[in-house]
Structure formats: structure tokens, C-alpha cells
């Protein structure tokens, strides 16, 4: 498989520089660091890094294609009121520059967020790279690696949306389920068994919030009839066979879900952090899904190995996207 080209807009951030060195050592992908080369050099000396010289380093104010990217940005955003002057300024913002490199075909994916808030990473991605055909919203999946391997797929469960869309409607919730199935198949290689989560199981309570989950389940099945999906389910009916057999005896999930789709971002974000902290699970992500090219956001508390893992995932997503495109 070809090596993918991943851009790191926070290229002089300390953990990012250390991760970049490990990524190059492991030959995971080609890297472009957007950074002041002098700042990178200081860290290379400080930590005795040996491999990073193989990365391309571009100064955000001095990209060789600055003029081309400025025109590209202006063309994409002028209908939204952006002026050429604003485009000239934004093209020097590393988070905009990274997404412009992708849009222009000069990079295949991006990882950022060690220094910037989620919204600041996502906004240029939404505005410039946009969504895949047929998908209207981007969402964020977390790959949860549990200590207890009796749950999910040998201890692995995918949670979504834990990061992006605050309050999806029923169609958007269905899209999140379908996109998470694609992520699960392409990154983890197992067949998703999707539980659409709620505070009710199969009509045990009535509320418009539950109707949203029931309708989203139907829509997701229409969008991808091959899906093994069920809802609305409470967490115990989704995850524990003995409870599923009494609360939802006809469920195709049978208390053995390996993908949990949450009804909104309050639930999804709280759920993944609770499982991460209380059950000491490893949380990999958010893996952003539904974007026309893979762009992934780190937590600002990330470690060097979190960055390496997310770059590897981004590179896999980029390769998967290219191979799907070549089959169309």
C-alpha cells in the first residue's frame, strides 16, 4: 500500500515533534510539519531526535504555494462573504493551511488538536474539506479498549458521537450510525453490531427523545440494509446477554453490541470519559468520520503515543478512502 501524506499543523508543539520522530522511525507515513523550522530544530537538539530530518517542514507564512492556496480559499468561501484580504490572512493560519493542502491534493490527511480546541480544528475542515458525498454531518467515534474482554469485540467497543455534533436530528443520528459502521469495518476489521442507545428498551418508556432513536434506527437500516442494528436499547440490554434475553428477546444484537450510538453529544462525551476514567479503558480518538478526507482531532491532554496512534489511524483512513474511490 502507498505511504500516505499526513500534515501536522502544530508542527513545533513538543509532543507533536516527538511523535513525528517516532512516526518517521516506524515508517507509518510521510509527514509535513507546519512550523517555524528554528523551533523544530530546538526540540530536535533538546531531545536528541534522529529521524525528523526526513519530514518536510513548511513555515506557515512562507508556503511555496501560498498564492495558489489563497485563491483556492477565496474561491471556496467568497459565497459565504470571505474577502481576498481575509483569505490572505487565514492562509497563514496553520489550521487553515493544513486543510488547504488537503483540498489542493498536496496531503491526504491531517492530525491536530494538541494545542488547539476541537472547534478550532474542525471549523476549517468543515469549511474547506467538507463531507463525503451523501453524508451531511461529520461525527467523532472513540475506539474504547476495555480491560474486561468479555464485552464488545474481545473488549473493543466503538462509541459515537463523542466529539462533534451537539444535537443531531433523527436523520443525522442515522448518518452517525452508518458512518460508524464504515469506520468500524475499515479501521478495526470486524462487523459492527450497533446498539442505538436510550433510557428505554423496546417501548419500556414513551418520550419524543425515544422516538428520535427509534426513527433513526429505521432510517439507518434503510440507508444500509446490511447493518446489524437495533434500538432503542438501554446500556444493559445492549451489553449483557442475560438482560437482553429478558428485555429485548428478539434483538439481533442479543446483548453483545460492539458499537454504541448515543442520542446526543452530552451523553456520548460523558459516556466515553466515564468509561475511560472509571473502567480505566483506553480511548482512541475521536476518529472523525464523514469528512471527504481524514482529519482527526487530539485532546489537548494527549500523550506522544496518542498522537502516533491517531496519525496511524488517519493514514489507514486515507488509504481506505483512496481504495474505495478507485473501486467506484
112 binds ligand ACO (CB under 6 A): no
Within positions 240 to 269, which residues make up the interface with ligand ACO, using CB under 6 A? Answer: 269
Q: Judged by CB under 6 A, does residue 327 bind ligand ACO?
A: no
State the alpha helices, DSSP H only, in the chain.
14-25, 37-47, 66-77, 84-90, 94-103, 118-124, 170-183, 208-223, 235-239, 241-247, 265-278, 304-327
Q: In angstroms, give the least distance from the CB of 25 to ligand ACO.
A: 27
For every residue of 140-180, DSSP letters joined together read EEEEEE-S-TTSTBTTEEEEESSSS-SS--HHHHHHHHHHH
Residues 41, 82, 86, 126: which binds ligand ACO (CB under 6 A)? Answer: 126
Q: Which is nearer to ligand ACO, 255 or 285 (CB)?
A: 285
Is there binding between residue 171 and ligand ACO (CB under 6 A)?
no
Angle, helix 14-25 to helix 37-47, in steps of 10 degrees: 70
Strand partners, 153: 156
- Tell the smallest beta-carbon distance from residue 142 to ligand ACO (Å): 8
Per CB under 6 A, 123 contacts ligand ACO? yes
> Reduced to 3 states, what is the DSSP secondary structure of residue 228?
strand
For residue 30, the surrounding DSSP H or E stretch is strand 30-34
Residue 294 binds ligand ACO, judged by CB under 6 A: no
Q: How far is the CB of 275 from ligand ACO (least distance, A)?
A: 13
Q: With respect to ligand ACO, which residue has the nearer C-beta, 126 or 190?
A: 126
Q: Smaller CB distance to ligand ACO: residue 256 or 269?
A: 269
Minimum Å gap between C-beta 56 and ligand ACO is 28
Binders in 47-106 for ligand ACO, by CB under 6 A: 80
Nearest to 233 by CA among 253, 258, 208: 253
The interface region with ligand ACO, picked from 64-72, 102-110, 125-133, 314-322 by CB under 6 A, is 125-133
Among 163, 220, 248, 260, binds ligand ACO (CB under 6 A): 163
Distance separating alpha carbons of residues 240 and 248, to the nearest angstrom: 11
CB of 54: closest distance to ligand ACO in angstroms? 30
Tell me: does residue 229 bind ligand ACO (CB under 6 A): no
Residues 195 and 259 sit within 8 Å (Cβ to Cβ): yes
Contacting range for ligand ACO; rule: CB under 6 A; set: 1-9, 115-123, 152-160, 239-247? 115-123
Counting contacts by CB under 6 A, is residue 303 touching ligand ACO?
no
User: Which ranges constitute the DSSP H helices of 184-303?
Assistant: 208-223, 235-239, 241-247, 265-278
For 175, 180, 208, 262, 301, the CA distances from 140, given in Å and listed in that order, are: 12, 9, 24, 11, 17
Does 122 bind ligand ACO (CB under 6 A)? Our answer is yes
| CA nearest to 111, candidates 293, 283, 322, 301 | 293
Do residues 43 and 20 touch, judged by C-beta distance below 8 A?
Answer: no
Chain positions contacting ligand ACO, by CB under 6 A:
80, 118-119, 122-123, 126-127, 131, 137-138, 163-166, 269, 286, 299
Amino acid at each position: 500500500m502507498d505511504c500516505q501524506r499526513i500534515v501536522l499543523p502544530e508542527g513545533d508543539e513538543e509532543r507533536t515533534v516527538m511523535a513525528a520522530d517516532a512516526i518517521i522511525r516506524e515508517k507509518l507515513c510521510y509527514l509535513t510539519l507546519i512550523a517555524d523550522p528554528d523551533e523544530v530544530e530546538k526540540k530536535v537538539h533538546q531531545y536528541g531526535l534522529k529521524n525528523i530530518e526526513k519530514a518536510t517542514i513548511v513555515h506557515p507564512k512562507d508556503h511555496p504555494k501560498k498564492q495558489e492556496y489563497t485563491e483556492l480559499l477565496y474561491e471556496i468561501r467568497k459565497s459565504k462573504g470571505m474577502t481576498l484580504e481575509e483569505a490572505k490572512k487565514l492562509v497563514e493560519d496553520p489550521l487553515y493551511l493544513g486543510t488547504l493542502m488537503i483540498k489542493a491534493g498536496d496531503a491526504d490527511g491531517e492530525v491536530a488538536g494538541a494545542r488547539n480546541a476541537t472547534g478550532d480544528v474542525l471549523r476549517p475542515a468543515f469549511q474547506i474539506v467538507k463531507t463525503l458525498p451523501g453524508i451531511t454531518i461529520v461525527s467523532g467515534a472513540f475506539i474504547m479498549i476495555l480491560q474486561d474482554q468479555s464485552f464488545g469485540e474481545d473488549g473493543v467497543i466503538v462509541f459515537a458521537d463523542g466529539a462533534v455534533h451537539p444535537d443531531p436530528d433523527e436523520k443525522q443520528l442515522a448518518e452517525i450510525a452508518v458512518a460508524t459502521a464504515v469506520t468500524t469495518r475499515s479501521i478495526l476489521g470486524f462487523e459492527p453490531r450497533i446498539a442505538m442507545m436510550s433510557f428505554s428498551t423496546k417501548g419500556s418508556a414513551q418520550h419524543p427523545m425515544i422516538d428520535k432513536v427509534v426513527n433513526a434506527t429505521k432510517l439507518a437500516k434503510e440507508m444500509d440494509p446490511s447493518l446489524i442494528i437495533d434500538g432503542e436499547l438501554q446500556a444493559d440490554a445492549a451489553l449483557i446477554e442475560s438482560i437482553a434475553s429478558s428485555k429485548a428477546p428478539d434483538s439481533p444484537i442479543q446483548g453483545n453490541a460492539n458499537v454504541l450510538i448515543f442520542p446526543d453529544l452530552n451523553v456520548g462525551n460523558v459516556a466515553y470519559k466515564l468509561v475511560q476514567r472509571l473502567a480505566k479503558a483506553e480511548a482512541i480518538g475521536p476518529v472523525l468520520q464523514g469528512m471527504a478526507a481524514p482529519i482527526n482531532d487530539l485532546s489537548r491532554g494527549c500523550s506522544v503515543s496518542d498522537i502516533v496512534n491517531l496519525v496511524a489511524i488517519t493514514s489507514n483512513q486515507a488509504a481506505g478512502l483512496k481504495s474505495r474511490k478507485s473501486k467506484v
